[in-house]
Structure 1
Amino acid sequence: MAHPARRRAHWRSQLLGVCATAHSLAALAALLNPDRVAEAMGLFLVGVNGYSQFYAIYVGVRLATAGLALLASRRGDQPILGDLAALFILAQPLGRFVAAFAIGLPKGSLFLVCVAEVLAGLALLALRPRGNALFR
């Protein structure tokens, strides 16, 4: 049986790979059909600035998150990369939580996405290598 630290590293690496894939696919879907993705998220894109902002967030930030998660999955010796990926993933449901005070929780498929982001981000942090050093 593998050492517990190796199992944790393996599962964290696998989860980071899944997160990288999911964010890449979400970015690709937004790139290929921005109006449909925006509609599913409750957005209505208007003009150049609306589309530019949409692409910045739903393509650019998603691809950056995917790249960070992929890099972190390959560099298990630098757990800070996985921590940063987890924080990027958790930033989205955090923003939705803040918005919930003013307008309520997201509904439908976006609520499920939010739950998946929270679970993935917390799992990544829970699978962080144990030790006293914050940045190893």
Structure 2
Amino acid sequence: MNKIGKHAVPLKKEALGFVGNRIQLAVLREAFHIVDEGIASPEAVDDIIKYSLGRRWNLVGPIASADLGGLDVFKNISSYLYADLANATGTDPTLEKMVDNGKLGLKSGQGFYDWQGDTGKRIVADRDAALLDQLKHDHNAKKD
């Protein structure tokens, strides 16, 4: 992995799914819950991640971020917020309904967003170019 410019991370033991997928699904479960409960729209949830957590976690991961913010603060927040977070263990009902209705996202042209036309292809191309730039930056930083 390191030879091809990726950042290999050793794990302590095997677990179902990749660690990144597990974290992503935990975030998605709560994001879907927020939308299902009418707290925020899909667009608002995406903007909150893009313009706050996503930027922060791109620089330091969630655990380092908690350390930097103060574990006492996160303990206090967890004491009341955990009880209100999504904790379902089955498939999200909204996600299941959308898939059953053929709303698969970009591949079907409709999901939470309308992906008709070239908008989705442009976003994917822009995202992929930005990710490649970040990989190049990481690779060059290792050389320094």
Is TM-score (shorter-chain normalized) higher than 0.5? Answer: no
Tell me which of the two structures has the higher relative contact order, counting C-alpha pairs closer than 8 angstroms and 6 or more residues apart: 1
TM-score, structure 1 normalization: 0.29
TM-score, structure 2 normalization: 0.28
